[in-house]
Amino acid sequence: MNKFYEFFAGGGMVNAGLGDEWECLFANDFSEKKRAAYEANWGNDHFVPGDVGRVQLDQLPTQADLAWASFPCQDLSVAGNGAGLKGERSGTFWAFMKLIQQLREDRRKPRIIALENVYGAITSHAGKDFKAIIAALAAEGYRVGGMVIDAVHFVPQSRPRLFVVAVDEALQIPVALDGAQPTAAWHPRAITQAYGRLSKELRNRWVWWNLPTPKARRLTLEDIIEKEPQGVAWHSSDETWNLRRMMSDVNKKKLIEAQQAGRLRVGAVYRRMRNGQQRAEVRFDGVSGCLRTPSGGSSRQTIMVVNGEDVKSRLLSPREAALLMGLDHDYILPEFYTDAYHLAGDGVAVPVVAHLARHIFEPVLAQNQLQLTELPQDLAEAA
């Protein structure tokens, strides 16, 4: 069984994505509310709460095949404060890397490292933060490459995220995974430009990860909407009309077309400021906008359910938010709405983790299994 550490674990969505073939040796998060959710679903025998900067080397058992870190995005996000990796939140990346350095010195560094963050991490500080991330991983003896994977390939939510995967340079990467050039599906222009800004030495350590394209997604927003939602109430007719009045002509036209569709339609609504005026923008393409943490009312996604002339609206329910992240119906959510929505909006999409595990992590480990089991223990740990 493959073994992993889960840093910035939240509610354990990486654990959910990796599945039963993986064993979590260690999980950590600063939030007590997320800790409660994690332990409710995955147990408390391996969870170490608190600041990642206070995690001690002896709290990380044996050697992990994978160390996953979805480190905070606030300082790297386009909507953030621009502090980048020097910020209080996103700067916790360096505390994580200090542990990786200590593990290397202890001859048991993780064989694979996976990082997840917002798209803005690629361009933060004119690309200097991304370059610093790649350089830090390379300095610890890893080959590394970045991808942008949108959760919309798997679930009905538009959620493009940066994924950086690094493999111990002592291990072989299957030929099929190491592409000679970028692919349009996973390496948008921002990634290729970021690669171009790297030094020659770092480019020599770069991997153009060659992921297969998943099968066409069938699940739509209509499929996950609860008829009798828990934790939210339907808006009054006045509240729904206020939303409609906030729509521009373009969005009103979308609503009219949904009413004329002859079937139930579900739209995702966001409130945004446009030219100093609050507007309601709706999409009826079967996909929700990106879930966000509910720091303010506008960040909480509203849905509009349309059946002919009948138009209703309400907030997305906690269970619906969890389903949009790929969690199962039996995942135990926090009791309160804000806590549950925050847990989902701040997480990593479960099926994206599963896709990476199936097509990168597990093939790399399988390719090197003989080497890892036959070497003397001290050399195997150093590999």
Q: What is the pLDDT of residues 196-235, one digit of tens each?
A: 999 999 999 999 999 999 999 999 999 999 989 999 999 9
The band of 125, judged by pLDDT with boundaries at 50, 70 and 90, is confident
pLDDT tens string 85-97: 665 556 689 999 9
Q: Could you give the C-alpha distances from 207 to 98, 181, 288, 346, 354, in angstroms and in order?
A: 23, 9, 32, 28, 20
Between 92-105 and 128-139, two packed helices, what is the crossing angle to 10 degrees? Answer: 10
pLDDT for the residue 190: 97
Identify the weakest region by mean pLDDT among 167-181, 191-205, 330-344, 361-375: 361-375
Q: Where are the domains of the chain?
A: 2-216+349-382, 221-343
**Of the candidates 262, 315, 309, the residue with the CA atom closest to the CA atom of residue 291:** 315
pLDDT tens string 19-47: 999 999 999 999 999 999 999 999 999 99
pLDDT tens string 314-329: 999 999 999 999 999 9
Asked whether residue 382 carries a pLDDT value surpassing 50, the answer given is: no
* Burial track 221-246 (b if 16+ CB lie within 10 A, e otherwise): beebbeeebebbeebeeeebeebbeb
pLDDT for the residue 383: 44
Positive or negative: CA dihedral 368, 373, 374, 378: positive
Query: CA 248, 251, 253 angle in degrees (round to 5)?
Result: 110
- Cα dihedral 372, 373, 376, 377, rounded to 10, equals 80
The band of 133, judged by pLDDT with boundaries at 50, 70 and 90, is very high
pLDDT tens string 167-184: 999 999 999 999 989 999
* Residue 91 to residue 136: CA distance in whole angstroms: 13
| Token couple for 355 | 């896709």
pLDDT tens string 41-80: 999 999 999 999 999 999 999 999 999 999 876 555 555 5
Q: Which helix or strand (DSSP H or E) is residue 200 part of?
A: helix 200-204
* Residue 144 to residue 364: CA distance in whole angstroms: 13
* Residue 50 to residue 62: CA distance in whole angstroms: 21
Asked whether residue 84 carries a pLDDT value surpassing 80, the answer given is: no
Asked whether residue 274 carries a pLDDT value surpassing 90, the answer given is: no
Give the CATH architecture of domain 2-216+349-382.
Answer: 3-Layer(aba) Sandwich (3.40)
Positive or negative: CA dihedral 371, 374, 377, 379: negative
Asked whether residue 310 carries a pLDDT value surpassing 80, the answer given is: yes
Asked whether residue 294 carries a pLDDT value surpassing 60, the answer given is: no
- Cα dihedral 323, 326, 330, 336, rounded to 10, equals -50
The DSSP bridge pattern shows strands 265-274 and 302-307 to be antiparallel
Assess contact for 165 and 356: CB atoms under 8 A.
Answer: yes
Asked whether residue 306 carries a pLDDT value surpassing 80, the answer given is: yes
- pLDDT above 70: percentage of residues in the chain: 90
